[in-house]
Amino acid sequence: MSAPHQEAAPLFPNDVELRGALEKAGLRFTRQRAAVYQFLAGATAHPTAEDVFAAVRQQLPKISLATVYKALDALVESALVTKITHLDGPCRYDCLGGAHYHFHCLNTGRIFDLPTAYDPDLLQKLDPQLVETLRRRGFQVTGYRLELLGVAFPET
Amino acid sequence: MSAPHQEAAPLFPNDVELRGALEKAGLRFTRQRAAVYQFLAGATAHPTAEDVFAAVRQQLPKISLATVYKALDALVESALVTKITHLDGPCRYDCLGGAHYHFHCLNTGRIFDLPTAYDPDLLQKLDPQLVETLRRRGFQVTGYRLELLGVAFPET
DNA sequence: ATCGATGCAAAGCGTTTGCAGGGGT
DNA sequence: ACCCCTGCAAACGCTTTGCATCGAT
């Protein structure tokens, strides 16, 4: 309420984390990447590149869509963000903090995070026989992707 | 071994099924759609539109890529085929006979079917608490999508 | 005979790339 | 000072569309 703040971006706590992750990947910290990351970190559903562009444009009016794409790539390469391509239409981006599942709203196309951890034994619980079949057929399973489908009422 | 057969497509048993499904959707039975369906029904992994085009071209040299796309749409609308958009790159098409899961090869991008039925209680088994949380938050879950990731050794 | 389907070419959308100039280290 | 990143515009890959003709009913 009473905390004063300025126009120019002051260096959020997240920026420290971001800078580290970028440097670890051999990439530079820039205003554009910070803005993209800030927006993604605060987003409730998972925005498209256009969404990010529209939002970040308000802070950095001269940013280009190409830069947004490149920034998103940089964040993906820094392992701060994942790219979601499970859909028709444009890709969506997910600022990840630990593994989680997605809830995909069939009405609006929005994607929400679900606070459930990855369960390495899911497949075993689901169908032990399938695990056997896969092993025999020469399929080596390294992970899975679970997406829930449904309708999200217009909240959050 | 000894069964004689001719050059011209004789009307496969599948064609009867196909014709029915198309008509139920108010669509017409055509040579092009039959060829696309035949190919998809016999494919082991899930082909892209280009894959279908290349294959079907050998029977119908004058078919166009646009027609392949339209035929695939018609098959999807007839509920004989599903469109898989879970990937980077082009969509893939899946000739479905009952629900199943997919195995997605991370090396080659191929997608294989897994002979496991849909389990409506999967989520309940996986994490009963999550089901509760979702209900409270106003998310109505109508289904799920499970995709296994890994490496398929070069067989099948 | 009707009306949908085909085939061609051109447009469309989301994304990537080439390059000159600007900014981070 | 170096080299990466930015921003612009043009290219790209996949898919869809407009339209005249063909073909299924």
Burial of B153 by CB count in 10 Å (0-12 exposed, 13-18 middle, 19+ buried)? exposed
| CA dihedral over A51, A55, A56, A62, signed as positive or negative | positive
- Cβ within 8 Å, pair B140-A150: yes
- Helix, strand, coil shares of chain A, percent, nearest 5, are 40, 20, 40
What does the alpha-carbon distance between residue A63 and residue A50 come to, in Å, rounded to a whole number? 12
pTM: 0.78
pLDDT of residue A138: 85
| Average pLDDT, rounded, for chain A | 83
In this structure, is the CB of residue A78 within 7 Å of any atom belonging to strand D?
A: no
Contact A119 B126 (CB under 8 A): yes
DSSP state of A71: H
Q: Which residues of B touch A102 (CB under 8 A)?
A: none
Q: Is A36 left (phi over 0), alpha (psi -120 to 50) or beta?
A: alpha
CA A144, A150, A151: angle at the middle one, nearest 5? 145
**B119-131 tens-digit pLDDT:** 778 788 778 888 8
Measure the CA–CA gap between A11 and A38, rounded to whole angstroms: 10
* pLDDT at residue number A13: 63
Cβ atoms B38, B55 nearer than 8 A: no
